[in-house]
Chains A and B, each alone.
Chain A
Amino acid sequence: IQMTQSPASVSASVGDRLTITCRASQGVSGYLGWFQQRPGKAPELLIYGASNLQSGVPSRFSASGSGTDFTLTISSLQPEDFATYFCLQVNTFPLTFGGGTKVQMK
């Protein structure tokens, strides 16, 4: 299953509302996760089951979708949110990641 993320990169400012999309080449039901990766660090799980917030993740992060189309929204960007975001489908082996979305400061 191919996972396509868009945009590949985006420039934004603190306080902006940001939406990232992830599209699967075939349906993955609700088995979709989102990860944040800061430079030089391991990825961190933000969202599992398409819309469930991982423990400890701020409520400004939200996500939705099912089947083939998914979105991750950050309601008000904070300085620590400038990072790269990846989606991952866990519906079918082999598990596959999207190519990533780099969120940069404008």
Chain B
Amino acid sequence: EVQLVESGGGLVKPGGSLRLSCAASGFTFRTYTMQWLRQAPGKGLEWLASISSVSTYIYYADSVKGRFTVSRDNADDSLFLEMNTLRADDTAVYYCARVRNDYGDYPEYWGQGTLVTVSS
């Protein structure tokens, strides 16, 4: 069974930093592209970043480019999101997702999400 478990969320002050983790199990992690997505309270979904299986290709949304960094550890089946210079509008539930490995980068399996609150 595919499982994705995010951790590392919490309350952080504007301008602060946070590192999210996503522990993967139930599939061969090193062969899948992974993504981070988020959803602000009461709002829609926003794709943030994609990282290919061996980190060859990395893409970011404009809203986080230069502030957030996605990485992965295939030896440990883990995905990370380093978030710097956080702003109030980064407040959201953050999800990691595994994509389908065919037909395009559709987030097929999602974690339960971790809440990040940016507030003074």
A64 CB to nearest B CB, Å = 16
B13 lies within 8 A of chain A by Cβ: no
List of A residues within 8 angstroms of B107 by Cβ:
43, 45, 88
Q: Which chain A residues have a beta carbon within 8 Å of chain B's beta carbons?
A: 31, 33, 35, 37, 42-45, 48-49, 52, 54, 86, 88, 90-91, 93-100
Determine which of A31, A37, A91, A97 lies in contact with B46 in the assembled complex, contact meaning CB atoms within 8 Å: A97
Contacts of A45 in B (CB 8 A): 100, 106-108
Tally A-B pairs: CB < 8 A: 58
Residue A49 contacts which of B59, B61, B95, B104 (CB distance < 8 angstroms)? Answer: B104
Cβ-defined partner of A43 (8 Å) among B61, B100, B105, B110? B110
Cβ-defined contact, A48 with B103, below 8 A: yes
From known contacts A94-B61, A94-B62, infer whether A43 and B108 are also in contact, taking CB-CB under 8 Å.
Answer: no
B32 within 8 A of A: no
Check if B44 sits within 8 Å of A86, measured CB to CB.
yes
**Which of B95, B104, B110, B113 is within 8 Å of A90, CB to CB?**
B104
B60 to chain A: closest residue by CB: A94
Closest CB in chain A relative to B26 CB, distance in Å: 15
- Using a CB–CB cutoff of 8 Å, the interface residues on chain B facing chain A are 44-47, 50, 59-62, 95, 100, 103-108, 110-113
Seed contacts A49-B103, A88-B106, A95-B47; 13 additional CB < 8 Å A-B pairs: A42-B95, A42-B113, A43-B45, A45-B106, A48-B104, A48-B106, A88-B107, A94-B47, A95-B105, A97-B44, A97-B45, A97-B46, A97-B47
**Hey, which chain B residues are within 8 Å of A48, CB to CB?**
100, 103-104, 106, 108
**Chain B residues closer than 8 Å to A98, beta-carbon distance:** 44
Enumerate chain A residues within 8 angstroms of B45, measured Cβ to Cβ: 35, 37, 43, 86, 88, 97, 100
Task: Give CA–CA (A100, B45) in the complex, Å.
Answer: 8
Contacts of A44 in B (CB 8 A): 110
**CB pair B104 A91 closer than 8 Å:** yes
Q: How far is the CB of B111 from chain A (nearest CB, A)?
A: 7
User: Which chain A residues lie closer than 8 Å to B105 at the CB level?
Assistant: 90, 95
Nearest-Cβ distance from residue A16 to partner chain B, whole angstroms: 24
